[in-house]
Chains A and B, each alone.
Chain A
């Protein structure tokens, strides 16, 4: 008799995520995987391969493109979709702004982060998606810590934390009424470090901006570093600098700060994170600082 496999914590997290992805495939008619090109959604794609190969994915990859993405990430996205031979749907915030006559965010560091909710909801309606899989994790932020793995949204995409369904055992209730849809978070129980450990174990390629590189940055009053891109309006008072940096999260170039680091390999990044004293969102997201309940408010309004 062969000896029984021993499962470590990553094996268990992986098994849980694959189980959730297959529940989506089994319970919904038109699911989608929201793909940002960031490490969490790249890990999701790897998990989907484990869940559904040798078959095709039972869902397309959907990218809501704010127009403020890093070019390295967009190139990576297109290459990955081509290698996988899976369908990639891209919808642009730019188009939503035109169609709906929305106002472009102003200011020195214009963020389209809030506007992407419109594009996401329009895309859900356009394709009739009944479930959208995302790479959000509960350790990211305190409102996320309260969210279910199957999170039901009303027809306006809104999240009501008081009316969440109890989520018992590993039974995922995807029974919804017409107009409602479900956001599904298969890696809810993973931490930032778990994702990096998984990427290393599975040898998953990532966009180059995750690794240390030299970049022209503007130093914000908070001390954070923001990449100099065409989307920023800089003036003479801005302090510019060239530093060795990497990105811990990949979001909009206008609101995702870089961290100083010379970590050029996965090993070095994991070591970096173990030493890190500032949380992932705190280090890199400008948008959560707006108010104490920034994330809760955005989620209630349909944000991913």
Chain B
């Protein structure tokens, strides 16, 4: 059985939380006491039936305001798959939370209200999901019951969204008409939609293939922690503990330790203290090197033939997440997974216009802005572009003093065209 992580996104009141509630409810992931608590709550607040949205809106303020503020995680399992759902807020001011949700997802369900069609938020969320590297999309046309289960309305919205998908280069969009409130086409096929021949939502989620062929990615591994028992039995043992970030590692292959550039051989790969001949992403392993070289946390060990070029200059897209605007010259910390170094934002090159998906001139980045910047780091990073590698092409920016997470960073270019130290 494998694992699918997906996000739900869409405008306020499109019914995201209700859809998740429906998925959980119809796949028997909601237990009796949770339902009883919900019914109790509904009796004291609004009218009538169980409000499925209350299954995801967990904080008091969310329930009081009837909106989702923060990212919520929900889990359900069918005989085919385990699912991790990230429910992200629809409001503009919580876009940073959508970025957060999208960063870990393989698939995005873009929810559209059949009465409203494709709106600004639909575009905005699709752009964010595409930017964060999600390749699989479901256009869920919700509240289809409120437009009389009209095929024409569905077709029009699908056509409208095709224009958005085209512009963003989304190739894998599956469109499904649903009613989350009534359950049409979510987990069960609907008699109300005889004109729709495709799979229902859950059937699609159970079967869509989002796997990546590990062997096609370059091998990447960062040292998280050095294991040195220094016991009588193991006086000289040095193991480099970390997660294979991408690709494949084979015992005996030539590797290079970066950023130092020291070449050596991968003497052994160990999992649970047992040697294995081959390991793949995202396995947690211990690497042993043939030579006694200086390796510490944050260093990258990469297959010699696939090694990245360490760089101190990066061009990156930032999703800015702090109230205080970013201006050029600001110093901060870059956390590139296990590597951390100081950095300065040299220039803000442009800002992405969420409406037209074009680049505009910008001199600062405000909360929720998506900007292109040039960064210079104090120590070199063994990084890739986000296009090449969704793990090693990603970083976060932290406030030096408070440690707050300021931005999500996606590397666009590692070797800049005109490095200033070269003549």
- Annotate B267-291 by CB proximity to A: 1 below 8 A, 0 otherwise: 0000111001111101110000000
User: How many angstroms from the CA of A78 to the CA of B158 in the assembled complex?
Assistant: 62
- A-B Cβ contacts below 8 A, count: 187
Q: Are A138 and B75 in contact (CB under 8 A)?
A: yes
| Known A142-B58, A146-B59, A191-B77: A165·B229 in contact at CB below 8 Å | no
Q: Within 8 Å CB of B186, what residues of A?
A: none
Q: Does B417 contact A (CB under 8 A)?
A: no
Q: Within 8 Å CB of B146, what residues of A?
A: none
- Annotate B283-309 by CB proximity to A: 1 below 8 A, 0 otherwise: 110000000000001000000000000
Please tell me which stretch of A226-234, A236-244, A274-282 contacts chain B, meaning at least 4 of its Cβ atoms lie within 8 angstroms of it: A274-282
The chain A residue sitting closest to B391, CB to CB, is: A169
Q: Are B224 and A4 in contact (CB under 8 A)?
A: no
Q: Does A139 contact B (CB under 8 A)?
A: yes
Q: Are A2 and B283 in contact (CB under 8 A)?
A: no
Residues B56-81 near A (CB distance < 8 A) = 56-61, 63, 69-75, 77, 81
- Annotate B94-114 by CB proximity to A: 1 below 8 A, 0 otherwise: 001101100110000000000
- Annotate B386-404 by CB proximity to A: 1 below 8 A, 0 otherwise: 0000110011101001111
Closest 3 pairs between A and B when the two form their complex, measured CB to CB: A282-B33, A175-B403, A142-B58
Least CB distance, A182 to chain B, in whole angstroms? 10
The chain B residue sitting closest to A180, CB to CB, is: B403
Q: Are A166 and B96 in contact (CB under 8 A)?
A: yes
Q: Does B331 contact A (CB under 8 A)?
A: no
User: How many angstroms from the CA of A100 to the CA of B233 in the assembled complex?
Assistant: 47
- Annotate A1-29 by CB proximity to B: 1 below 8 A, 0 otherwise: 11011011101111110110011011000
Please tell me which stretch of A48-56, A62-70, A113-121 contacts chain B, meaning at least 4 of its Cβ atoms lie within 8 angstroms of it: A48-56
Q: Does A235 contact B (CB under 8 A)?
A: no
Q: Within 8 Å CB of A189, what residues of B?
A: 73, 75, 84
- Annotate B233-244 by CB proximity to A: 1 below 8 A, 0 otherwise: 010010101110
Residues B222-251 near A (CB distance < 8 A) = 224-225, 227-229, 231, 234, 237, 239, 241-243, 248
Residues B1-28 near A (CB distance < 8 A) = 1-3
Please tell me which stretch of B332-340, B342-350, B353-361 contacts chain A, meaning at least 4 of its Cβ atoms lie within 8 angstroms of it: B332-340
Q: Does B405 contact A (CB under 8 A)?
A: yes
**What are 14 residue pairs bridging A and B, where the CB atoms are less than 8 Å apart in the complex?**
A9-B1, A55-B229, A55-B239, A145-B72, A145-B73, A161-B69, A162-B69, A167-B405, A171-B335, A175-B335, A175-B398, A282-B32, A282-B33, A296-B59
Q: Within 8 Å CB of B365, what residues of A?
A: none
Q: Does B408 contact A (CB under 8 A)?
A: yes
| Known A12-B3, A19-B243: A7·B280 in contact at CB below 8 Å | yes
The chain A residue sitting closest to B279, CB to CB, is: A5
Least CB distance, B357 to chain A, in whole angstroms? 22
The chain A residue sitting closest to B215, CB to CB, is: A4
Q: Does A173 contact B (CB under 8 A)?
A: yes
User: How many angstroms from the CA of A170 to the CA of B100 in the assembled complex?
Assistant: 10
User: How many angstroms from the CA of A138 to the CA of B71 in the assembled complex?
Assistant: 12
Q: Are B71 and A9 in contact (CB under 8 A)?
A: no
Least CB distance, B139 to chain A, in whole angstroms? 25
Residues A26-67 near B (CB distance < 8 A) = 26, 49-56, 58
Least CB distance, A138 to chain B, in whole angstroms? 5
User: How many angstroms from the CA of A168 to the CA of B278 in the assembled complex?
Assistant: 29
Q: Are A26 and B34 in contact (CB under 8 A)?
A: no
Q: Are A22 and B241 in contact (CB under 8 A)?
A: yes
Q: Within 8 Å CB of A8, what residues of B?
A: 1-2
Q: Does A292 contact B (CB under 8 A)?
A: yes
Q: Within 8 Å CB of A168, what residues of B?
A: 99-100, 103, 394, 396, 405, 408
Q: Does A74 contact B (CB under 8 A)?
A: no
Q: Does A293 contact B (CB under 8 A)?
A: yes
Q: Does A206 contact B (CB under 8 A)?
A: no
Q: Are A56 and B229 in contact (CB under 8 A)?
A: yes
Q: Are B33 and A166 in contact (CB under 8 A)?
A: no
User: How many angstroms from the CA of A214 to the CA of B288 in the assembled complex?
Assistant: 50
Interface residue from B77, B104, B277, B391 paired with A193 (Cβ < 8 Å): B77
User: How many angstroms from the CA of A193 to the CA of B72 in the assembled complex?
Assistant: 20
Least CB distance, A26 to chain B, in whole angstroms? 5
Interface residue from B82, B104, B225, B231 paired with A9 (Cβ < 8 Å): B82
Q: Within 8 Å CB of A138, what residues of B?
A: 73, 75
Q: Within 8 Å CB of A22, what residues of B?
A: 224-225, 241-243, 284
Interface residue from B70, B81, B214, B242 paired with A146 (Cβ < 8 Å): B70
Q: Within 8 Å CB of B59, what residues of A?
A: 143, 146, 161, 296
Q: Are B338 and A23 in contact (CB under 8 A)?
A: yes
| Known A23-B224, A54-B273, A292-B41: A146·B99 in contact at CB below 8 Å | no
Max chain B CB contacts within 10 Å: which of A26, A53, A170? A26
Least CB distance, B302 to chain A, in whole angstroms? 18
Least CB distance, A273 to chain B, in whole angstroms? 11
Q: Are A278 and B75 in contact (CB under 8 A)?
A: no
Least CB distance, B257 to chain A, in whole angstroms? 17
Q: Are B321 and A146 in contact (CB under 8 A)?
A: no
Q: Does A97 contact B (CB under 8 A)?
A: no
| Known A12-B3, A177-B403: A55·B228 in contact at CB below 8 Å | yes
Q: Does A176 contact B (CB under 8 A)?
A: yes
User: How many angstroms from the CA of A138 to the CA of B58 in the assembled complex?
Assistant: 11
User: How many angstroms from the CA of A133 to the CA of B73 in the assembled complex?
Assistant: 20
